[in-house]
Amino acid sequence: MLLNPKVYELLKKESTIKILSTINENNQIHTVIKDSLQICDDQLLYLEYLESSTTNRNLTFSMWFKNSVTVLILSENKTSYQINVTPVKCIVSGPVFQKFYTETLQKHNDTDLAAIWIFEPDAVVNETLSVRQKEERAQRPYFKHLDRLAL
Amino acid sequence: MVSISLKNKISTEYPLSSELKSLTQKYAQFPYLIMLKTDIQRRGIYYTHEALKKADPTVHQLAGTHIFGTRDGILTHRPEAFMLRDGTSVLTTPTPLEQNPYIIDLRNDKLTLVDGQNELEEIEYWTKPDFYDKTTKSGIPMNLIASARPQRIYIMPNRYCFFWSDKQNCLFCDIVNNLQKQKKELSMPTRLKPEDVEETISEALKQKGRFTAICLTSGSDFNGVNAFDRETDYYIEILKAVGKNFKTKKFPSQLIATAFNQDQLGRLYEQTGILSYTPDIEVLNERLFNWLCPGKAHWVGYKEWKKRLKEAVPIFGRGYVNTCIVAGIELAQPYGFKSEDEALKNVLEEAEDLAADGVNTVFTVWSPRPGSIIGNQKNASLEYYIRLASGLHALRKKYKLRLDHDDYRRCGNHPDSDLARIL
Domains of chain A: 5-148 (2.30.110.10)
**What is the nearest CA distance from B260 to chain A, expressed in angstroms?**
31
- Provide the pairing of β-strand B45-47 with B102-107: parallel
Report, as an integer, the average pLDDT of B279-286: 98
Summarised one tens digit per residue, pLDDT across range B377-410 is 999 999 999 999 999 999 999 999 999 999 999 9
State the greatest distance between any 2 C-alpha atoms of chain A, in Å, as a whole number. 68
pLDDT over 80 (residue B183): no
**CB A102 to CB B209 under 8 A?**
yes
Q: Please name the amino acid found at residue B418.
A: D
Q: Please name the amino acid found at residue A52.
A: S
The pTM assigned to this predicted structure is 0.93
Handedness of CA B54, B58, B59, B64 (dihedral sign): positive
Confidence of residue B75 (pLDDT cuts 50, 70, 90): low
For A29-134, strand residue ranges (E) read 29-33, 37-40, 43-48, 69-74, 80-91, 115-126
**CB B4 to CB A91 under 8 A?**
yes
Summarised one tens digit per residue, pLDDT across range A63-81 is 999 988 999 999 999 999 9
CB of B35 within 8 A of CB of B23?
yes
Q: Please name the amino acid found at residue B264.
A: Q
Confidence of residue B411 (pLDDT cuts 50, 70, 90): very high
CA-based end-to-end distance of chain B: 36
Virtual torsion, Cα B395, B397, B403, B409, nearest 10 deg: 110
Report, as an integer, the average pLDDT of B72-88: 84
Question: What is the value of ipTM here, to two decimals?
Answer: 0.93
Lowest mean pLDDT among B4-13, B170-179, B362-371, B373-382: B4-13
Interface probe for B, chosen from A92, A119, A122 (most Cβ of B below 10 Å), is: A92
pLDDT over 70 (residue B327): yes
- Closest to B234 in 3D by CA, of B261, B205, B271, B200: B271
pLDDT over 80 (residue B179): no
Listed as ranges, residues in chain A with pLDDT below 50 are: none
User: Please, what is the Cα angle at B371 between B71 and B115, to 5 degrees?
Assistant: 10
pLDDT over 70 (residue B67): no
B9 — contact with chain A (CB < 8 Å)? yes
CATH class of B130-422: alpha beta
**CB A64 to CB B85 under 8 A?**
no
pLDDT over 80 (residue B180): no
Contacts of A70 (CB under 8 A, 6+ apart): A20, A21, A82, A83, A84, A85
Q: Which ranges constitute the DSSP H helices of B93-228? A: 175-186, 194-204
pLDDT at B12: 46
The set of long-range contacts for A96-101, using a CB threshold of 8 Å and a minimum separation of 24, is A96/B2, A96/B3, A96/B4, A97/B209, A98/B207, A98/B208, A98/B209, A98/B210, A99/B2, A100/A47, A101/B208, A101/B209
Summarised one tens digit per residue, pLDDT across range B189-240 is 789 999 999 999 999 999 999 999 999 999 999 999 999 999 999 999 999 9
A33 — contact with chain B (CB < 8 Å)? no
B24 — contact with chain A (CB < 8 Å)? no
